[in-house]
Amino acid sequence: MARSDSLDIRLRLAPRDLDFLRERLSEAALIGEHESEEALIRVALSALERARSGDAPDYVLRQLTALEEVAALLRDTDWRLPKSARIRARIVLSYFIDERDLIPDDAPLFGFLDDAIMIELLVQELADELHGWRQLVQFRGRLDSRPATQAGPERSRRISERRRALRVEIQERRSQSGVSAEPRARFFRSLARRVRAES
């Protein structure tokens, strides 16, 4: 038998596990509420660099790299992230920087595993926003490559038009996919409501 160079691990979370994760995410999010958004981003990106300097496995590093996109999403004033999505994005960063991990970050090999799992789940909730934002970034890059639209009111107008069109596409995609009925979506929406109620 040929030796495998990788190992796939599948996890199934029971309702009590989801309750526990909801509680931990809620605690982390409330801690993050006391930080300014920019401070939260800076701390998270600094922690990301420390994680990269360690011995985290490839899966963990791939998921942690998503933090950079979440930070850019929050910082991008052209995209105008809706409040509900902004709360979710802040929760991603807040959980990552919370020192009360399920698995200590300095544990060999698995130190950032819980962070990676939760980041993957949370970033999936931001998939539509990230997809639309990436398209806006590409559109803006094309505008900025042309001298006539590098600055000024014409650039702002065209970016606004493109953003509105992408927002319509996001709403249509969500309606067609029935994303609101997914258990994972209900889980994180209930978390976001809890965070708003407790903050």
Q: Is residue 141 part of a domain?
A: no
- pLDDT of 1: 44
- pLDDT of 183: 43
Q: Is residue 134 part of a domain?
A: no
**Number of domains the chain contains:** 1
Show contacts of 190-199: CB within 8 Å, 24+ apart.
Answer: 190/22, 191/22, 191/25, 191/26, 191/29, 191/91, 192/84, 192/87, 192/88, 192/91, 194/22, 194/26, 195/26, 195/29, 195/30, 195/33, 195/87, 195/91, 196/87, 198/26, 198/30, 199/30, 199/33
Q: What is the domain extent for residue 187? A: 15-126+180-198
Q: Is residue 120 part of a domain?
A: yes
Give the predicted TM-score (pTM) of the model. Answer: 0.75
- pLDDT of 193: 54
- pLDDT of 181: 40
Q: Is residue 156 part of a domain?
A: no
Q: Is residue 59 part of a domain?
A: yes
Q: Is residue 155 part of a domain?
A: no
Q: Is residue 105 part of a domain?
A: yes
- pLDDT of 162: 95
Reading the chain (199 residues) residue by residue, the pLDDT tens digits are 455 566 676 767 677 777 777 777 777 777 667 778 899 999 889 988 887 887 777 777 887 788 899 999 999 999 999 988 888 888 888 888 877 766 666 666 666 777 787 788 788 888 899 999 999 999 999 888 887 666 778 888 999 999 999 999 998 887 877 654 444 555 555 555 554 554 4
Q: Is residue 3 part of a domain?
A: no
